[in-house]
Amino acid sequence: MAVFTPVTPSQLDDWLQNYDLGDVAEFRGIASGIENSNFFLTTTHGQYVLTIFENLSATQLPFYLDLMRHLASHGVPVPDPMPHRDGSLFAELNGKPATIVTKLEGAPELAPTPAHCIEVGQMLARLHLAGRDFPQHQHNLRSLAWWQENLPAILPFLAGDQRALIETELAHQTAFFGSADYASLPEGPCHCDLFRDNVLFAHTAGHVRLGGFFDFYFAGVDKWLFDVAVCVNDWCIDLATGVLDPSRVDAMLRAYQTVRPFTPAEERHWNDMLRAGALRFWVSRLYDFHRPREAEMLKPHDPGHFERILRERVKAAPHPATR
């Protein structure tokens, strides 16, 4: 969500002529994130987020935007894309595809408790079930094939023990992804990036209420267990060490399974999927750190964070998910 493509007030005014959103009251860039250019937009009709897509093409966008509309129509709190006057959910701005979505209520909770994890676990399961009848299909673009393709570009920057870890883990995941058990795992549209800063909470009268999930632009069809593992690897850990917090893990997994219980194969391969989730983000953060793109407000994440998480998951004895 760094600003790679600036937008002037006059450019914004001209572009908004094709939307029924009223007049601009406020417009400012969002500094966090590293993939797209994002801006908070307030108009006389409401509050929105404008996103300019730096990597996704116009042919890829319908999956993400239509998925968000589908989930919203099924009661999942997600940003709802606003239609252009021609009916499309995006339009070109400064030579790149862009969209406007509704702004959700609340703020991120960066120090989550088990109560927050319960809210996230239940809603993630609802999201998975709501996506079962979504007709479009696009694989998770940051899955195994992407790791294999991009690993050679980052290996020269790694120390010997790091290289050994990442190559060994990639071999482990290649074998896991090729197994019959992996093929049997239930799948469907997944968020694939449900970190603490992609969820909003509203606090009213001492009650924690989920405001919604956002930033769906890494979404794809994947194993539901992968989505849960990515979530647990962020929401349920000590950030300094990557060690899992049993109380938060238990809260999230139990809450998820009140909506959708795990299959026996999912239980058996829980630790394998935690490792897959850690590898995915270690590879991408290494790539972003060592092969950065220029951006007006770019803040690359520390790749060492997911190295620590992966080392913790690898040394952990395999264990089933909590039921």
Lowest mean pLDDT among 36-50, 104-118, 297-311: 297-311
Q: DSSP for 21-67, please give it.
A: ---EEEEEE--S-SSSEEEEEEETTEEEEEEE-SS--TTTHHHHHHH
pLDDT number for residue 319 = 63
- Asked whether the beta carbons of 186 and 223 are under 8 A apart, the reply is yes
pTM of the model: 0.91
HSE value, Cβ hemisphere, 13 Å, CA-based, for 59: 0
Mean pLDDT over each residue of the chain, to the nearest integer: 93
Cα angle vertex 28, ends 83, 45, to 5°? 40
**What 8-state DSSP symbol labels residue 292?**
P
Mean pLDDT of 167-196: 98
pLDDT tens, position by position, 5-30: 999 999 999 999 999 999 999 999 98
Is the pLDDT reported for residue 153 higher than 70?
yes
Q: Which residues contact 5 (CB under 8 A, 6 or more apart)?
A: 37, 52, 54, 93, 94, 96
- Kindly list the domain boundaries of the chain, sorted by start residue: 9-102, 114-315
| pLDDT at 203 (0 to 100) | 80
Predicted pLDDT of residue 318: 66
User: Measured between alpha carbons, how far is residue 140 from residues 66, 129, 143, 281 in Å?
Assistant: 16, 17, 6, 13
CA distance linking residue 273 with residue 118, whole number of Å:
20
Cα-Cα-Cα-Cα dihedral sign, residues 241, 247, 248, 253: positive
Angle 152-157-160 from CA coordinates, rounded to 5°: 95
- 114-315: CATH, from 3.30.70.260, 3.90.1200.10, 3.30.56.10, 3.40.50.300: 3.90.1200.10
Instruction: Give the pLDDT confidence of 202-228 residue by residue, as tens digits.
Output: 987 778 899 999 999 999 999 999 999
The tokens describing 39, both together, are: 């801006």
CA–CA separation, 173 vs 275, rounded Å? Answer: 8
Average pLDDT over residues 55-81: 95
* 71-86 pLDDT, tens digit each: 999 999 999 999 999 9
Mutual angle of helices 160-177 and 304-315, in 10-degree steps: 60
Percent of the chain residues topping a pLDDT of 70? 93
> Above 70 in pLDDT, residue 299?
no
CATH of the domain spanning 9-102: 3.30.200.20
**What average pLDDT does range 218-242 have in this prediction?**
97
Angle made by CA atoms 174, 175, 177, in degrees to the nearest 5: 65
The confidence score (pLDDT) of residue 62 equals 96
